[in-house]
Every structure is written in structure tokens, then in C-alpha cells.
Structure 1
Amino acid sequence: MTLQWRYTTRDDLSVLSLSGSLGEQALARFGGAVGWALARGTGPVVLDLTALSGWSADGQRAIADAARQLATHQRTLELAAIPADGSLVPDGRCPLMPVHPDLDAALAAHGAQTDGTEARQEWRTTAWPGGAS
């Protein structure tokens, strides 16, 4: 299954949602999505993993790398709805990544609306579930 992503900016944070599997074949696409987030948003990035079907060790390392990359721009990466195995174990070089049980909890932690009314702009891959942009 190919990795798909949707990036949404909000007032003081952004959400990068993933769908599919984050494995070795998806690393370049995930890296591109993180670059997109760096270029188009400010504040924390919530990585919404609700629709992620799985992740490999390479995918987990890519998430830790993304957290380090965002930190160099004074931005944080937060995780929402990690896959059921919950096996993400960042190394000692990784900045703190808060983990939220779901996207609504992550948004609430920042005082953001959970009904989508604060969304400003959205970009997504063509095959994102629910339609193309």
C-alpha cells in the first residue's frame, strides 16, 4: 500500500496526516511531506497516524529524523494515534515528541477546534482517501 498524506495548516499549528504504510518504499514521499510542512506552516506539526496501517523500523527512524529536522527550525513534532503496536522508540538524539491518543486530543492540547473550523489551507496527495485536490 502506497503512503498518502494530507497537510492542513491551522492558526498556530499544522497537521500532517498519513494513510497507508510507512516503510522503506515510502521514505522519500514522507520526507517530501515533511519538507512541505516546513515550507508552508509554523508552530508544532501534529503527525496524525489515524489512517496509517503500519510502519517499519525504517519508517519509525524517518519520524525521528523528521522531529530532528523540525527542531532545527524551532518547530516540534507531536504524534497522534500511533499504530497499535506502539513500538516507536526514538534514539537519544531525538527531541521530545509528545504522543496523543488521537487527533482530537492533540488539537485540544493546543486549544484548537476539533471540528475542522480552524483549518486554513490544505494540500494532499492525489490518492488521499476521501477525494483528490
Structure 2
Amino acid sequence: MSMQWEFATQRDMGVMTLTGFLGQDATHRFQGAFDWAVARCSGPLVVDMAALRGWNCSGEDAILDATGRLPADRGPLAVCGLGERGAHVLTPPAALSAIRLFPDLETALPALAAS
């Protein structure tokens, strides 16, 4: 199963929802989708991973690499929906301050709006 994505704007923030599997075969697709989303929103960007069936190290690396393409005035990339599934390179200290983690989209949006 390949990775699919959708983009929406909520509360002046971009929300990129991922579904499927984010693996090595999907990293190029993710990078293109991420760059497309960045170009179409001016506020913070949230990557919602709650609907992903899974990911591997290549997928995690693609998300971490994307943080370098997010303009500095947008703040750190927000990632939500990891749930009980671990993502080693997306969690501190590996991600340092490049990624803010939230349990779900309903938590991420108000927290980002307040900051």
C-alpha cells in the first residue's frame, strides 16, 4: 500500500493528513506533497499521521528532512497521531526542536494557535 495525502487549512494552519504506508517507495511522494503544502499555507504546518497504517526508518527520515524545508517563520513542524506507535527519529532528542509532537489533531491545533 502506498502513502496517500490530503491537505486542508484549519484555523489558518495547514494540515497534511497521511494515509497508507510511509516507506522508502513513498518518500519522494511525501517530499513533493510536503513542498506543495508549504507553498499553499502561510501559517504552521501539521502532519497528521493518525491514519497511517505504518512507516519505516525511510519514512521517518523523510519527515525529519522536511523540517529543513519549512520556513523558519512557521515555527517547528507539528506532527500528531503517532499514538502508541514509536517513531525513533521523530521523538526527542533525535528531533531536537525541529518537531513538536501532539497526541492528535484536536490537541495540536489549539496549542499551535496559542503559540
TM-score, structure 2 as length reference: 0.84
Aligned to 1:98, the other structure's residue is in SS state strand
CA RMSD of aligned residues (A): 2.1
Higher relative contact order (CA 8 A, sep 6+): 1
2:19, 2:49 within 8 Å by CA — same for their partners in 1?
yes
1:15, 1:46 within 8 Å by CA — same for their partners in 2?
yes
Offset of 1:9 from its aligned partner? 1.7
TM-score, structure 1 as length reference: 0.73
Q: Deviations over 1:3-25 (max 9, x none)?
A: 10001123431100000010000
Which structure shows the bigger proportion of residues in helix conformation?
Answer: 2
Provide the rounded CA distance (Å) in 2 between the counterparts of 1:22 and 1:83.
16
Q: Does 1:74 align with 2:77?
A: no
Q: Percent identity?
A: 40
Provide the rounded CA distance (Å) in 2 between the counterparts of 1:81 and 1:62.
17
Unaligned runs of 5+ in 1: 113-133
Aligned to 2:89, the other structure's residue is in SS state coil
Instruction: Give the aligned partner of residue 53 of structure 2.
Output: 53
Structure whose alpha-carbon radius of gyration is higher: 1
Q: Which residue identity lines up with residue 100 of structure 2 in the other structure?
A: P
> Number of paired residues?
111
Unaligned runs of 5+ in 2: none
